[in-house]
Structure 1
């Protein structure tokens, strides 16, 4: 079986990015920040519907080494991409405009653009910068590698420009909002705010209950080791993208339903059966049913986490119901995701479900402590038997948020 993907230490990530910066742009001091990817325990496609979700921060992080320049130029290099890029901050604009930034640099300079556009940067503070990026967050796995990049840059710029926003949760919420704006407007990906909130506002040993209607959060203790559990992440290696139209189509269906039901978001739907009867399009009805029932599953999942005996069985049942809803009503699963869930469950997982936006990416399985490698081996064998590419695996203890690390 493939080895479980381990996270880099802060020292290793800082050394990698500083070395890359010096090799690419010459000697000089740089500060390093890091931000985690995230995995969502439950609450999928609820964030842009004003709903509830329950992500946690991964130990796997994206690192950025950043140093200031005296002009408004940004020079960029990545350990995952060939060559270097250069962008004029004054020329940056939304996707589709004359100032569009193509490729991964949009997620970096988009954050700088959004911080300025939000009025969070005092006049004269926003200089250009050189930045090197490296990451152990699996790319394209539905574990929010893009938000990890944005949030690492946000913390770095907060420090560089003296904004002071990373010092408390209220400021981090503002940084998260700027990162969402960067992803939506500059990178052109119509995602909600869960990923950035998890990366910036989660806590070690806790899942983050995020109310996407008002941005309120609650830290929910999630000590897997104490409960005799592990959370196994299964990267199916199936292609995953959020800018190919499918994600946007789901969001548009939900917004259409909200208009037809005369509510601000689907969070306001209280009479599910009555609301479904008012919607003519059967596809839209299925989308609404998923969102409303998924929000209820988040509430029940949190209740089970804080309850006593028998909670593991309840958690597993809720995970299974979430996956079924995502597969049948929201139609964002894939053969690889379905097989990962089925094989993990057959191998003894208490529960399993796809996580993230879907259309590929990753699934998660709640498994007894010490069984992760055996479960992973059986999932890998199932993939081999089906003729799929070999999956990758990692463990996901609830970890710390974005911060300066060097």
Structure 2
């Protein structure tokens, strides 16, 4: 949807034109899953798919929210209703950002907002972070808050942690606010330092496919929190601030010191995943993006076997894609469904996509959605 179309849609809902139009993208994480809340490393790219919002400030504290993907109604909230636990459904993501800004001491008022997003929901592509971040950047501009991209991402993360109740790390929101077009962001989630690495797969004759399995996940159901809690328990038992502080050399001794296999498996994934991120960065800096393939596949095995966040559908995509000639593939996102990325030679892309679709049909699954991931620009004003 173009800015003009979004403006027209806003006017149809609210009767007046908006003050502006903003966008914030979803993301694909190349490698580095469940490492962000362990102070580790991640390597996401922003997608062209984005949440777009037309926004008009109000003279009061009332918040009115409307989504083209919703049931057609406007969600209207008074200031005292914008608090954790009080807002149901999709509206809790944008409302949470307004709450986070106010809670941080920013004197922001209400707004009328119309959203239109093409980030698939429940697909592990950060549709919720896109909703949060588009509100954050719009409010930052309209209220002249002067906040930086990292600050906005962290406020959006706090909204999801406290207001929504998902104890996620900061990767999704920081990818949405900070990623740059044509680049992957190598982010240290402890120091919040980032390096933007050029990623031009087409020049190397490669393509990154995203396969949305259409299996929906809900990270607020406790499984995500359970794994985060396990990682924190393991770090505590090892006397570490976070599992980030355990390197590969110390892993065998650490595993021997942990009391049960569940904690050992979580620890093994985080340590090896951080190492995979660093290996992926080395491959990219060396101009060898094809070397990412085996790194992706190894990452999926770790998510499947140690972190236990894969499922039959995502496993089938990985197995089928690799068998059909993909250089590597893995589940991306928090897990329990969602999407898989597959690194393929340009000449093999259609064959791999067709093989995955055929495998889903044979298994009786819904037809997956397959598209090419391109590294896009982070959150920004459109009009």
TM range (shorter): over 0.9
For residues 48-73 of structure 1, give each alpha carbon's deviation from its aligned partner in whole angstroms, at most 9, with x where no partner exists: 00000100000111100000111100
Q: In the alignment, which of 164, 174, 188 is matched to residue 146 of structure 2?
A: 164
1:304 equivalent in structure 2: 283
1:368 aligned to 2:358? no
Q: In the alignment, which of 101, 105, 116 is matched to residue 115 of structure 1?
A: 101
CA–CA distance in 1 between the matches of 2:122 and 2:101? Answer: 26
2:135 equivalent in structure 1: 153
Asked if 2 retains the 8 angstrom alpha-carbon contact of 1:80 and 1:134, the reply is yes
Unaligned runs of 5+ in 1: 1-11, 166-170
1:93 aligned to 2:70? no
TM alignment of 1:243-258, pairs within 5 A = 243-258=220-235
Secondary structure of 1:371 counterpart: helix
1:225 aligned to 2:202? yes
CA–CA distance in 2 between the matches of 1:251 and 1:133? Answer: 31
Q: In the alignment, which of 279, 285, 298 is matched to residue 264 of structure 2?
A: 285
CA–CA distance in 1 between the matches of 2:18 and 2:236? Answer: 53
Q: In the alignment, which of 243, 247, 259 is matched to residue 266 of structure 1?
A: 243
CA–CA distance in 1 between the matches of 2:289 and 2:82? Answer: 49
Secondary structure of 1:133 counterpart: strand
Asked if 1 retains the 8 angstrom alpha-carbon contact of 2:10 and 2:18, the reply is no
CA–CA distance in 2 between the matches of 1:394 and 1:217? Answer: 27
Secondary structure of 2:192 counterpart: coil
- Pairwise CA distance, 1:90: 3.6
Secondary structure of 2:203 counterpart: coil
1:275 equivalent in structure 2: 254
1:128 equivalent in structure 2: 110
1:142 aligned to 2:129? no
CA–CA distance in 1 between the matches of 2:13 and 2:348? Answer: 43
- Pairwise CA distance, 1:92: 2.0
1:26 aligned to 2:15? yes
CA RMSD of aligned residues (A): 1.2
CA–CA distance in 2 between the matches of 1:34 and 1:17? Answer: 11
- Pairwise CA distance, 1:296: 0.4
1:394 aligned to 2:364? no
TM-score, normalized by length of structure 1?
0.91
Asked if 1 retains the 8 angstrom alpha-carbon contact of 2:18 and 2:54, the reply is no
- Pairwise CA distance, 1:16: 3.8
Q: In the alignment, which of 24, 31, 35 is matched to residue 35 of structure 1?
A: 24
Asked if 1 retains the 8 angstrom alpha-carbon contact of 2:51 and 2:116, the reply is yes
Asked if 2 retains the 8 angstrom alpha-carbon contact of 1:312 and 1:350, the reply is no
TM-score, normalized by length of structure 2?
0.97
1:323 equivalent in structure 2: 300
TM alignment of 1:184-223, pairs within 5 A = 184-223=161-200
- Pairwise CA distance, 1:313: 4.7
Asked if 1 retains the 8 angstrom alpha-carbon contact of 2:201 and 2:289, the reply is no
CA–CA distance in 1 between the matches of 2:290 and 2:377? Answer: 27
Q: How many residues align?
A: 380
CA–CA distance in 1 between the matches of 2:129 and 2:115? Answer: 13
User: After alignment, is 100-109 or 197-206 more displaced?
Assistant: 100-109
- Pairwise CA distance, 1:373: 2.7
1:168 equivalent in structure 2: none
CA–CA distance in 1 between the matches of 2:101 and 2:359? Answer: 46
